[in-house]
Amino acid sequence: MGRIAIVGVGQSKFGKRSDASLRELAFESYTSALDDADIESSAIDGSVVCSATHYDKQRSPAGVVSEYLGLSPKPTFNVEAACASSAVGLRIAWSLVSSRLHDTIAVVGVQKMTELSSGEIQELMGRAGDVMWESPFGTTMPAYYAAYANAHMARYGTTEEQMALVSVKNRSYGSKNPNAMFQNPVSLEEVLKSRMVSYPLKLYDCCANADGSACLIITSAEKARKISDRPVWISGLGLASSPMSLAGRKGPMTSFDATRNAARMAYEMANIKPYDLHVAEVHDSFSVTEIINYEDLGFARPGKGAKLLEDQGTELGGRIPVNTDGGLIAKGHPVGATGASQIFALVKQLRGEAGSVQVDGAKIGLAQNIGGIGMYASVVILHS
């Protein structure tokens, strides 16, 4: 396997972006990534466009995005994996470059969600679960993750206060991220008193639907050395699936098999252990998800995720700072853009460009991204 690098990253402002269409959002992060890489668009020989389906009327968005970015007639690929779309797009870009079918690929994650009504969004979210056996009964994302939260509370004694601490931490970091949707911190009390969405998850335990995009420029080692004096290398890639239906899964609902399998693959490929990591981005679709992820990624033993958080182990200065960009909870969750946005934050950390949230001496980082209710999980390990 050839070494593959990320030489440019870009991200739009996330949030309610009524000022920009899908293609315009894509353009913002693409041009920003080109600037970051200090290359021209002509250096890109293909694009992987990642957008979760049905949120937009536009089918096959790579067609219109690639046209708007001025990339026609170059090949373009639509890749989708629900909330993990652009993480999976990165894996495909890695392969396209590593196989030498392409030299330099732009992975563009983009989503526009805020023009839909809350009811439409809930309906569409449910349809990322099994539409034959589950979504007709009203299941949707907050309810799915609430089931995991209840199981974690029952098995390990995890409390609502502990979950709320995830939101407090992430909103605090989000207040330092100019691209975040929510830039005001929240207190523990505010999280606990926010309105109930699906017990035990309250409004501030949940990430928000958003508009936004993020872009990654992926290239070969030879090209990277010519283009960049600060390439970030992809050293581990893991991707796994789980049955889409909860009925098809085994074991207690306190862990995501897909994350554990993807993490094993990524650690093995990078030849490192969890304690070698300096910084991480994990999928905090809900506060409880972040706690479960600590355990699935090996940052804490099963049932000890909340303790790691309480001990400030995942804050700046702790054992492994997590979601120093604010995570999904503060940034918002424009589904197709989220995976690339995590990599954007990680690249900034590994280049020492993370400003007030910089982790001192960060050289090795991990990004974990979950699709749907754990039917896909991607783990990516980067080093500078």
Determine the size of the site formed for a second copy (CB under 8 A): 62
State the nearest-atom distance from the C-beta of 169 to a second copy, in Å: 30
Binds a second copy (CB under 8 A): choice among 11, 29, 53, 287: 53
Contact 184, 177 (CB under 8 A): no
Footprint of a second copy on residues 84-123 (CB under 8 A)? 88, 91-92, 94-96, 98-101
- Indicate if 83 belongs to the active site: yes
| Stretch in the footprint of a second copy (CB under 8 A) among 124-132, 159-167, 201-209, 284-292 | 124-132
Binds a second copy (CB under 8 A): choice among 90, 153, 232, 240: 240
- Rule CB under 8 A: say whether 73 interacts with a second copy: yes
Separation between Cα atoms, residue 274 and residue 297, nearest integer Å: 7
Give the residue among 191, 210, 190, 209 at the shortest CA–CA distance from 201.
191
Determine the length of the chain: 384
Binds a second copy (CB under 8 A): choice among 148, 227, 371, 383: 371
State the nearest-atom distance from the C-beta of 143 to a second copy, in Å: 17
| Stretch in the footprint of a second copy (CB under 8 A) among 59-67, 165-173, 228-236, 359-367 | 59-67
Q: For residue 334, is the peptide bond before it cis, meaning its omega torsion is within 30 degrees of 0? A: no
Q: x/- binding map, residues 272-291, to a second copy, per CB under 8 A?
A: --------------------
- Indicate if 152 belongs to the active site: no
Contact 278, 363 (CB under 8 A): yes
Q: Using CB atoms within 10 Å of the CB of residue 208, give its burial: 0 to 12 exposed, 13 to 18 middle, 19+ buried.
A: buried
- Rule CB under 8 A: say whether 18 interacts with a second copy: no
Q: Is the CB of 166 or the CB of 258 nearer to a second copy?
A: 258
Q: Using CB atoms within 10 Å of the CB of residue 157, give its burial: 0 to 12 exposed, 13 to 18 middle, 19+ buried.
A: exposed
> Which residues make beta-bridge pairs with 86?
none
- Rule CB under 8 A: say whether 239 interacts with a second copy: yes
Q: Phi, psi (5° rounding) for residue 33?
A: -70, -40
Contact 227, 37 (CB under 8 A): yes
- Rule CB under 8 A: say whether 372 interacts with a second copy: yes
Query: CA angle at residue 350 from 348 to 352, to 5 degrees?
Result: 70
Q: Phi, psi (5° rounding) for residue 221?
A: -60, -45
| Stretch in the footprint of a second copy (CB under 8 A) among 125-133, 137-145, 181-189, 209-217 | 125-133
| Stretch in the footprint of a second copy (CB under 8 A) among 34-42, 190-198, 235-243, 350-358 | 235-243
Catalytic residues: 83, 333
